[in-house]
């Protein structure tokens, strides 16, 4: 056998890269697989980061090396091999030779059902857009309006360079680098993400990221978001996209940190529709997300999420209610079908006086899927008169799926008032027949029942998002009964 040469290695890497679908300047844009200090340094260098940022990443990496993957979630999957992943890849470029005809017809059919425009479809599949349409001018006016109000909204890479004082002050303060295995990993290798700062007393005049969400779909597997609402400000932020994302990266570990200073309010809405794997349970994204918000005095953070994608989801958007009179809310719909597994919920940590939290969780399971709610309500000794209301409803379709609830309650102050309600129901044949009899076919009947079940949460989404999310629920459950 001949010697394995440098050239052989290069060739092998090239074919690998081709498999992953990169088109431009392969050698310089993709790193070798595996993770070590040099890779972390290289990522930071590639992004032209200042020294403090490189050091921050390296510290996180050190912590990560000493950590174990958590085992407590109610999910079963083959643990990823962290040395078999490429930790940096440049954003996909537009391929001038590609047309929509080259795109998976199944995907296109789904876009059509969701009412996604042809231009948006092209953007999502890296197909060049022939005519530059409205969206550019929309984005420009959008940027102008924001800058007039002093709102900073840019990628986190840009923010590290342009607003280091803000990033330095807040990054890692809500989700510390040593918080958990995936958060540490993210801190070491995060690719990109969004940064947003709303100045004192400013009410952000639009839903942030509405116009950008298609473009953002490709931000990569280790996304990092930092959002700061200064005193008395308000912002509503949308993340994700209802369109299906066929990312070939199996592992996604994002971190989102929210900071709501005194009297500020943040509404954070997510639609997650990563590739869930095939109907037979092959493939699909592992989505391990750490999302947490900190509320100062009289501040309020609302998390709203519609989770329909990914093969495995592990996600607990949480609120630390540090300031007196602060409010945390969590509204969630999690749909699992086929072989999907979701373990999701929230943590409400009450530290301040008169803090209030509300948790509304709706789990819908179909096929052979497993859907778990896991929530913690913690009332510290300092939290006089804290209140929590939790409601966890599960809807089952068929006999082969599972719904589970794991509510944890820790109360260290006697003045706390906590209410917890939970229900489990099944879509019944009687309900379906009743709808059929009125002329509504079974698919539409299921959609009706599911939308009714999810209504309290759908109502919390910004209007245009709600309509899309509703359609998404229907599509995710298609063919799951009858």
Partner 1 sequence: MLQIKDVYASVEEKDILKGISLSVNAGEVHAIMGPNGAGKSTLASIIAGKEEFELTKGHITIDGEDITELDAEERAHKGVFLSFQYPVEIPGVSVTNFIKTAINENRKAKGLKDMPASEMLKKIKEKADLLEIDRKFLSRSLNVGFSGGEKKRNEIFQMAMLEPKLAILDETDSGLDIDALKVVANGVNKLKNKDNAVIVITHYQRLLDYIVPDFVHVIMDGKIVKSGTKQLAYELEEKGYDWIKEELV
Contact positions vs partner 1 (CB under 8 A): 428-431, 433-442, 444, 448-449, 451-456
Cβ at position 270, least distance to partner 1 in Å: 21
| Closer residue to partner 1 (CB): 60 or 457 | 457
Nearest residue to 318 via CA among 336, 302, 307, 334:
302
Cβ at position 465, least distance to partner 1 in Å: 19
Torsion of CA 119, 268, 262, 141, to 10 degrees: 10
| Closer residue to partner 1 (CB): 166 or 448 | 448
Span between the terminal Cα atoms of the chain, in Å: 58
Cβ at position 448, least distance to partner 1 in Å: 6
| Closer residue to partner 1 (CB): 283 or 482 | 482
| Closer residue to partner 1 (CB): 249 or 451 | 451
Taking the C-alpha atoms of residue 286 and residue 288, their distance in angstroms, rounded to an integer, is 6
Cβ at position 452, least distance to partner 1 in Å: 3
Segment (H or E) for 62: helix 51-65
Q: Are 309 and 276 in contact (CB under 8 A)?
A: yes
Cβ at position 429, least distance to partner 1 in Å: 7
Cβ at position 362, least distance to partner 1 in Å: 10
Q: Are 294 and 266 in contact (CB under 8 A)?
A: no
| Closer residue to partner 1 (CB): 348 or 450 | 450
| Closer residue to partner 1 (CB): 7 or 430 | 430
Cβ at position 427, least distance to partner 1 in Å: 10
Taking the C-alpha atoms of residue 14 and residue 9, their distance in angstroms, rounded to an integer, is 9
> Which residues partner with 155 through β-bridges?
194
| Closer residue to partner 1 (CB): 159 or 449 | 449
Neighbours of 460 (CB within 10 A): 22
Q: Is 143 exposed, middle or buried (0-12, 13-18, 19+ CB in 10 A)?
A: middle
List strand residue ranges (DSSP E) for 412-456, in order: 417-426
Cβ at position 433, least distance to partner 1 in Å: 5
| Closer residue to partner 1 (CB): 399 or 437 | 437
Distances (CA, A) of 218 to 126, 128, 294: 10, 15, 27
Q: Are 88 and 221 in contact (CB under 8 A)?
A: no
């Amino acid at each position: 056998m001949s010697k394995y040469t440098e050239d052989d290695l290069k060739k092998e890497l090239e074919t690998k890269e081709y498999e992953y679908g990169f088109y431009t300047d392969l050698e310089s844009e993709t790193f070798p697989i595996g993770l070590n200090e040099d890779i972390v340094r290289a990522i930071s260098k590639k992004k032209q980061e200042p020294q403090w940022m490189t050091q921050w990443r390296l510290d996180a990496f050190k912590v990560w090396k000493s950590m174990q993957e958590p085992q407590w979630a109610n999910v079963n999957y083959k643990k990823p091999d962290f040395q078999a992943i490429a930790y940096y890849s440049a954003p996909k470029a537009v391929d001038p030779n590609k047309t929509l005809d080259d795109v998976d017809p199944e995907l296109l059919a789904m876009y059509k059902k969701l009412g996604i425009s042809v231009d948006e479809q092209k953007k999502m599949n890296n197909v060049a857009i022939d005519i530059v349409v409205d969206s550019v001018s929309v984005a420009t006016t959008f940027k102008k309006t924001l800058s007039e109000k002093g709102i900073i909204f840019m990628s986190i890479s840009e923010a590290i360079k342009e607003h280091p004082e803000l990033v330095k002050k807040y990054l890692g303060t809500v989700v510390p680098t040593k918080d958990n295995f995936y958060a540490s990993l993210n801190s070491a290798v995060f690719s990109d993400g969004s940064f947003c700062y709303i100045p004192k007393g400013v009410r952000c005049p639009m839903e942030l990221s509405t116009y950008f969400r298609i473009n953002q779909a490709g931000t990569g597997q280790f996304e990092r978001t930092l959002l700061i609402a200064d005193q008395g400000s308000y912002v509503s932020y949308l993340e994700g996209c209802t369109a299906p994302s066929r990312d070939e990266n199996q592992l996604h570990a994002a971190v989102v940190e929210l900071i709501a200073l005194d009297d500020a309010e943040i509404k954070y809405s997510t639609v997650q529709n990563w590739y869930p794997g095939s109907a037979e349970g092959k493939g699909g994204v592992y989505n391990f997300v750490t999302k947490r918000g900190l509320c100062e005095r009289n501040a309020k953070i609302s998390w709203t999420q519609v989770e329909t994608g990914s093969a495995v989801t592990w996600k607990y958007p949480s609120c630390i209610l540090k300031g007196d009179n602060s409010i945390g809310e969590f509204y969630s719909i999690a749909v699992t079908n086929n072989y999907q597994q979701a373990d999701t919920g929230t943590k409400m940590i009450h530290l301040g006086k008169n803090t209030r939290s509300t948790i509304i969780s709706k789990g819908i399971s179909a096929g052979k899927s497993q859907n778990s709610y896991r929530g913690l309500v913690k009332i510290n000794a300092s939290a006089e008169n804290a209140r929590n209301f939790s409601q966890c409803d599960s809807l089952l379709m068929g006999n082969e799926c599972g719904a589970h609830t794991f509510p944890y309650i820790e109360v260290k102050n006697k003045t706390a008032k906590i209410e917890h309600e939970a229900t489990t129901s099944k879509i019944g044949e009687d309900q379906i027949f009743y709808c059929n009899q009125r002329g509504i076919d079974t698919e539409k009947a299921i959609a009706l029942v599911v939308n009714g079940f999810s209504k309290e949460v759908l109502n919390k989404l910004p209007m245009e998002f709600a309509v899309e999310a509703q359609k998404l629920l229907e599509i995710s459950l298609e063919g799951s009964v009858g």
